[in-house]
Structure 1
Amino acid sequence: MGRGDLTNAEWDRLESFLPPGGMRGGRWSDHRRVINGVLYRVRTGVQWRDLPERFGPWETVYKRHRRWSADGTWEMLLSRIQAAEDAAGGIGWDVSVDSTAVRAHQHAAGARKAPAAVAPQKGRPGDEPGRSGAAETGRPAGGGGPIGECLGRSRGGFTTKIHLAAEGRCRTLALVLTPGHYGDGPQPERVLGQVCVPRPGAGRPRTWPGHLLADKAYTSRKNRRYLRRRGIRHTIPERADQQKHRQNRGSQGGRPTGFDRERYKKRNTVERSINRLKGFRAVATRYDKRAYIYLGTVTLAALTIWLRT
């Protein structure tokens, strides 16, 4: 077993959730060896062609990662591990949200554009990312180009932004990709919409945190109304300009927002979760051309953290 490979205990937790069989009734190559090959690439950031021979043909490893990124297998595995952890009472439901920008390598550019004849319909994967496109669902997008692949231009070049929600033990509950120039404020509704932890046996999955922590970037009235509508208690500081405008309106400005300074200190869990994710070099720098493949890369990194915590 190489450094970074799945241990026997981690493999035992994961094995029962893996899809059986293969394409057209055939057999998959050994799941454990292929997953270890994908993990090696995610951890080191090497090119697929440079994978060590002990993982088998690099094409097999790459195609498995691409297929499982497209059909939602990585998301399914992450959901199953989260469900098992929640059943054991291991999830802290004081959830924090934040984002981090990731520089896109020059190899991430150049994804092919879809032909006009097969352009995606409105509301289908391939629409503007961050609304109903591939970056949110993990499915391949029909549209191409920088924006269609969650690449946004900034001072440092092309970047992608990862918006995520982290639970109390610094593990990722849900994540969404957008171009790097997208703001944080409009995203919490979409990020929380991705939280879905199944319950053992019958019953609806859990889709809401016990308490939400966020910084001043998320302090808009729209976000607060959304949280109140869903019955989610939250600790979000109010910006100074918002306080001044509320005071200038007098009694029509409403009551001050509550703020628990001690509880707000727990927001560091999302910062630590981001640091853990960026310990994987293929997450810290985006090498994947397609947004759905990069989303699979980040999801696998999050899954590995859940298995090892």
Structure 2
Amino acid sequence: MITDVEAATPALCRLQLGSELRQLRLAAGLKGAQVVKVLIWSPSKLTRLETGENSSVETADVMALCEIYGADAETRNRLQGYAGVTKTRKDWWLTPEYRPAIRPGFKAYLDLEATAATVQTYQAEFVPGLLQTEAYVHAIYQWADAELRTEDVERMAAIRATRQEVLIRPESPLKFTAIINESVLRRHVGESSVMRDQLAHIIEVMESRLNVRVQVVPFRAGAHPGMGGSFVVLQFPDRLGLKPMVYMENLADAVVKRSTKDVERYSDAFSELQAIALGPQESLSMIKEAIKEH
């Protein structure tokens, strides 16, 4: 539960509101189909509310749900406060400067990342976004879409840089663990100088931030649980009561998985990857060697 609603971010309020609304529905013994039938809503509207996907939430919608669920006055006031925050303030990624460059699926991830206490990611092809340099970002997007406008590439680089502030936030910086495939170190993205600077940046972050851990899965490890693709496991502060989630994306889509079964599957895969990956010091040595190759 959020103890100071006024100081909370809109993203946190959206997620907390959705979580509490779902808990209220389940406690009332109601299925989503029953609720939307009473309110004459589309099923997707209730789903978006419960998963925190809406950029802002109407207070009237929250009050209508509270009425159906029989929520007490204290709960109604708290949830109304959450909704109010989403209407009166915007997270940085929803401002006019950044919003045009952010896909809906990635917006959902930014909500989660900004609220998470711990992020564990396996990346098979790219340096994780929280560790990318501006030049590396430019190289990625210039390759991905040669017709992309310069201002759009600049926006993406600025988004990456702003995201990275979660690693250095004054209160409870994000605990970030990244496991990367050795191919990420060897593959040329942009000119050689771009790769050298990128790998040097990873080393700098590893050596200066106690909340950041990077490990490399070497080619010699053979087949491993990450061969199905990259993924991110997010865990949240205990006080919020939010369950861990998994995020994945590809060229066409992005998805957030919330079921306990899915989260356990990917959490187990991450643990197995950690077990076969090089330790932090060995990984550091491999990254330094890769710099020489570039």
Same fold (TM over 0.5): no
Which structure is higher in RCO with an 8 Å CA cutoff and minimum separation 6? 1
TM-score, structure 1 normalization: 0.28
TM-score, structure 2 normalization: 0.29
Bigger fraction of residues in helix: 2
